[in-house]
A and B are shown apart, each in its own frame.
Chain A
Amino acid sequence: MEPNSLPATERPGESAAGLWRTFLASTLVLAASLGLLFVATEGGSAFTTETLRRSAVMRSPQPIPDLQVIDASGVSASLLERRAADPRVWIVDFVYTQCASVCLSLGTVYQRLQAEITERGLQDRVGLVSVSFDPARDDAPALQAYASRWGMEPQVWQVLTLARPSDRRRLLDAFGIMVIPAPLGEFEHNAALHVVDAAGRLVRIVDHDDPGRALAIATALTR
């Protein structure tokens, strides 16, 4: 005999005491579920990995990793040495030079930022850095071509890539970038503006369509 074929009072849980027990258990389970969701979403404020990542960085700035990088002229140096040699706050984005999708809009955003930095005379306080996460294809000549395509002024905007392709994972993890290979040799990746202070800490991550805010945060850090 199964519980369902018993009269109601003999089915487990459906007596008065069982209803109270069930009420108690349901309330506890509901509270536990809501508690779990509350913790997982930081009190209902973050539903995506991206917002979670941004609020974590805002709460506690994170040191950038020390990786060997090369620039458009082929000079190899450690990222932290380059950071230390430059007193400006950096606004960093992640690209690959063959990109035909989201990096195009990132390129336009950076062009506008470059124009605004020059116009307002901020080039001693804020620097733009584009980092390629595709070191296998992006060698110095590719970076050079990218720099001239976007009209980079070297005193404002520089482009770097990894000297060792094996460092790619560390770079992407440190900045919270997720790169998914897509058809036609493209990559799908999250685009954002990363503000890195002169001490080499990632302090804020801002939407790529809000460059004004990134610039405001960066200039505020240099005051």
Chain B
Amino acid sequence: MNPWPIRSRSLAAGMVLAALACALSLPPARMLIEQSMLWHMVVQMPMLVVAGSLLMQSVPAARLPDRLARWNAYGLTGFIAAQGIIVYWMLPLAIDRAVVLPATDVLKIVSLLACGALLARAFARSAVVVQLFFLGYTVSMLGSAGLYLLSTTRRLCNAYSLESQFSAGVSMLILASALTIAWAGFTLRRREGSGTPEHGANRGARQRLHTN
């Protein structure tokens, strides 16, 4: 079986998404993330994570150094590092800085791409229960941050208006629900294709994809 078609598709999709996300940091599209918290937090940032994840998925696991993988059993280290990156970029002061300081914006792009890459490996290696733990944590964090953004009358980012903050809050709630549904759907589809739960599930998904 040739493993390349699906990989090159991830590579192409990852590169396109990464390019689009980077374009949002450059004029003229930069206007969007400068004026709208929604475009910054709910469009650009998740786009970077997804792009990083697609790019990582385009690399065959056998090509990744074993030496690193040995420190990342069940993707645990990767999950924790990714979580740290996500929490940091949800701080209003970090968001303000990324709007005002170009160097911080570059750091944001690099770290969120890395976050996506770490998550791709972590999801590929971990059991459903570990995934659920981290997903649950991220979703509840996104959800409570979203609720706070849409309910507070305090302007949290100096860079964004209260209206912009409100719509970012609403869309963060939608994103949190969408993430849960997407993960559940994805996991169920994987498990359905294989008899054994957890690790066997990945094999089932791969086989199905390649026979398509």
Contact = CB atoms under 8 A, between A and B. Distances in A.
Given A22-B74, A33-B80, A47 B61 contact: no
Interface string A1-30: 111110010011110001101101110011
Given A22-B71, A26-B76, A49 B96 contact: yes
Nearest to A12: B69
Contacts of A47: 91-93, 156
B91 A14 contact: no
Contacts of B92: 47-49
Interface string A30-52: 10111011001100001111101
Interface in B36-69: 60-62, 66, 69
Instruction: Specify which of A40, A48, A49 lies most central, judged by the most chain B CB atoms within 10 Å of its CB.
Output: A49
Ranked nearest first, the 4 interchain pairs of A and B with the lowest CB-CB distance are A33-B84, A13-B73, A12-B69, A178-B158
B77 A26 contact: yes
Main secondary structure of the interface of A (DSSP, over half): helix
Contacts of B69: 3, 12-13
A138 B109 CA distance: 39
A156 to B, nearest CB: 29
B73 A48 contact: no
Given A36-B84, A52-B93, A13 B72 contact: yes
A75 interface: no
Interface string A163-194: 00000000000000010101000001010000
A2 B73 contact: no
A32 B100 CA distance: 25
B83 interface: yes
Main secondary structure of the interface of B (DSSP, over half): helix
B71 to A, nearest CB: 4
Nearest to B79: A26
Contacts of B199: 4, 8
Nearest to A51: B93
A50 B93 CA distance: 8
Nearest to A19: B73
Given A1-B62, A26-B76, A48-B93, A188 B71 contact: no
B6 to A, nearest CB: 13
A25 B84 contact: no
Interface of B: 34-35, 60-62, 66, 69-74, 76-77, 80-81, 83-84, 87-88, 91-94, 96-97, 100, 124-125, 155-161, 199, 202-203
B104 to A, nearest CB: 11
Contact of A33 (B70, B83, B97): B83
Given A14-B73, A25-B77, A5 B158 contact: no
Nearest to B97: A49
Contact of B77 (A14, A29, A180, A182): A29
B73 A41 contact: no
Contacts of B161: 180, 182, 188
Instruction: Specify which of B66, B73, B74 lies most central, judged by the most chain A CB atoms within 10 Å of its CB.
Output: B73
B72 A22 contact: yes
A25 B124 contact: no
A48 B157 contact: yes
Given A13-B72, A22-B73, A4 B158 contact: no
A25 B71 contact: yes
A30 B34 CA distance: 31
A182 B34 CA distance: 12
Given A41-B91, A180-B35, A48 B156 contact: yes
